[in-house]
Structure 1
């Protein structure tokens, strides 16, 4: 009976009842009927909520929140990582890391967030939104993908140790086209032919 009481209360308001009557007339032309929705499995609903709910900092940035774009690159010429850190007032810090060892592309992609998070902690940043175009890295760090490879397990553990030091941490995947600056930094570090760009470059020995 409760829904009927609420419906009757709505009809007592002229502006509401007028709209309902108008909608009823217009929708009646399409022979629209109401059908009780079937039950939804709890797990399916939970999966849908997780998939469709963005990180809070993505939709509502906090005043002191920093943004970090990261990317890694590996080729026959070398490998490296790039990190672009942007402050709430527009401050930007570019950092590139050149590897002094042979690294796979996945290793380079993981070294990038490690580089950026370490830089953020040095600057005493406590709220951060991280963006990467690597689906593997994002989903493994966010515990969506299972980590089997021992090397990747090591990297995930290192990132987990760092992210726990932030008051608020969120990692999201973005298209490569939206990560161009971090991508350029990683290629600059790995490819000596891009040495004309002025940016701080650090050399990392084998981890």
Structure 2
């Protein structure tokens, strides 16, 4: 139940939603079912979420559960991307009030075959902004003792989502750059991003992807082919070069997206994992 607090701390119901758990959802952990409920509500009530700070009243904190995990792929990655677009605040459940209605709908869900009307009274007063495309910055670094890749997504609402990867095989710097590009593209496709501006500070990799440079080194051919395969799965893309000296975000990527410029009171979680994007057997 979506409610608005009016005078004298009374709640006025705005919208009711429910649906039946199906398939693998039946096997979710209790906290994951709460997370699914929140995601379902966001999809259906996006017009409310975008304009206000939303207090999520629940027995457990789904926001902390999703955003505190090292999310890399799958449904948790999609949920994290979705939640970070809105101003959500968890409020522990204390009083019954509207929670009794939510519990009732959880016990009596709407059958899956029922169609829920999305028509809202007065919907004509809403307007939709044309948001800019997603942005993705990538960078790779290779040293004698190891290699790493950094990827930073910038959402249309200007939220930063940094990821750092420790590559599990030693490689050249150009191979690490390609690994960063491929890992970023894989993540974008998994979370459903279709339009994106892509930036890197490697002129070689960027120009090879654009077809302006020929790929002469045999060890880079599999990575170049894989990158093009992934780029073809996106609808609208722009690939450009970012000089390291002129863009502090690209410079931060060289440090595996861990040193992004933040205020003194700001903090950021950077998931780190071991991963190798393209196997040696790819030709």
Q: Please tell me the TM-score bracket, short chain as reference.
A: 0.5 to 0.7
Tell me which stretches of 4 or more aligned residues in structure 1 moved more than 6 Å: none
Q: Secondary structure at the match of 1:185?
A: coil
- Match in the other structure for 1:86: 154
Match of 1:180 in 2: 251
Say which structure, 1 or 2, has more relative contact order (CA 8 Å, 6+ apart): 1
Question: CA offset at residue 127 of structure 1?
Answer: 0.3
Query: Does the aligned pair in 2 maintain the 1:81–1:187 contact within 8 Å?
Result: no
Please report the TM-score for the alignment, with normalisation by the length of structure 1.
0.62
Is contact 1:141–1:160 with CA below 8 Å preserved after alignment?
yes
Give unmatched runs, 5+ long, in structure 1: 1-61, 189-196
Aligned partner (choices 181, 187, 212) of residue 113 of structure 1: 181
Correspondences of 1:156-175 after superposition (within 5 Å): 156-175=224-243
1:100 alignment counterpart: 168
Q: TM-score, normalised by structure 2?
A: 0.46
* Per-residue CA distance 1:40-88 (angstroms, 9 max, x = gap): xxxxxxxxxxxxxxxxxxxxxx725100010000112310100000100
What is the RMSD computed on CA atoms of the aligned residues? 2.0
User: Quick check: 2:152–2:257 contact (8 Å CA) kept in 1?
Assistant: no
Query: Counterparts in 2 of 1:125-204, with a 5 A limit?
Result: 125-177=193-245, 178=247, 179-185=250-256, 198-204=269-275
Count residues in correspondence.
Answer: 138
Alignment check: 8 A CA contact 1:80 1:187 kept:
no
Gaps of 5+ in 2: 1-129, 260-267
Alignment of 1:71 with 2:139, yes or no, is: yes
Tell whether the 8 Å contact from 1:84 to 1:181 is kept in structure 2 after alignment.
no
Q: 1:124 to 1:64 in 2, by over 3 A?
A: farther
Shift of 1:163: 0.5
Deviation at 1:123, TM superposition (A): 1.4
| Structure label with greater radius of gyration | 1
